[in-house]
Amino acid sequence: MTTYWSMIGIVACACLAFLVLYPWTIYFFLPLCLIFALLLWKAAVQPISDPERAVIFRLEVFHRIADSGYVFLVPTFDRVARIFTIKEEPLDVTVTQFYPAESREKMDCHIELAWRIQDAVKGKVTGNVRQMVFMDGEQRKKLVEQVVISISRQLGSYYTEDQLDDNQVREAFCHKVRQAANELLESWGLTIERLFWRGYVPIRAVQEAKTRGVVQRTEVEAMVKAIQLIQKELGPEVSAEDLYAMYEFIKIRKSGGDNPFIR
């Protein structure tokens, strides 16, 4: 960019010297300069809206990350390779294999957070930050998620279930997770702005709930099929109340119960 502006300065000085030596040329030279400036602005300026950033390639090689605003490019040499945003993005994280202290039962811990790319990610960047800007949004989310899961598992082993039931302890846990995660994500140019505890559920309870849901769904499907068969045998004129009563009767008889219609 410095070389680019130096060249423009040299050309401008040469034009001024020419006008001083030949002042009568200003009548046609000035309109040409204005047209040239407009064309140069059109070709060399790329607007980038806030909060976006632009990855600039020079001669098809990574050059820099441009901040939002009007970005000046060297025509034919520079181009915008990609644009990314630094605004906050929400993320729900489920920490599996979560073992609190003095507990032999695995749990699922639910964490909600907001993360984004740091404001300092601009200009010349190298290392992990350079890799990060070429990731897509899902890859960045996966990176943040893996870091949070790893740290939550490690810190969770220092807390008991009774401690995690306390609001202040949970807030301290979230603060430590956020602080440790930001230390690891800083080298990638990422940061976690907020992190909240959304509870935990024992794996056994989750499996039992899923089993109950499957059983209930199976029972409903069997009831519907049975009522459809009864309706097929008795005809479409039978009311819904009679169909359901007949279904209950058949169900009781199959289970070995007494006939509910005999008193």
Helical packing angle, 2-21 and 26-44, nearest 10°: 170
Positions of the chain with pLDDT lower than 70, given as ranges: 1-8, 18, 24-29, 102-105, 201-220, 223-224, 226-227, 230-231, 233-263
**According to the model, what pLDDT value does residue 220 have?**
65
State residue 158 phi and psi, 5-degree precision: -95, 0
% of the chain beyond a pLDDT of 90: 30
Query: Which among 75, 77, 83 has a CA at the least distance from the CA of 60?
Result: 77
Read off the amino acid at residue 117. I
CA angle 146, 151, 156 (to 5 degrees): 130
Q: Which pLDDT does position 260 carry in this prediction?
A: 47
In this prediction, residue 186 carries a pLDDT of 93
User: For residue 125, what pLDDT is reported?
Assistant: 87
Distance CA 60, CA 67 (A): 19
Residue 140, pLDDT score: 94
Helix, strand and coil percent figures for the chain, each rounded to 5: 55, 25, 20
Q: Is 254 helix (H, G, I), strand (E, B) or coil?
A: helix
Q: Are strands 78-85 and 69-72 parallel, antiparallel or unpaired?
A: unpaired
> 186: which strand partners?
none
Q: 172, 190, 174: which is closest to 182 by C-alpha?
A: 190
For tokens 């024992």, the residue is: 202
The full 3-state SS of 152-168, as one line of letters, equals HHHHHCCCEHHHHCCHH
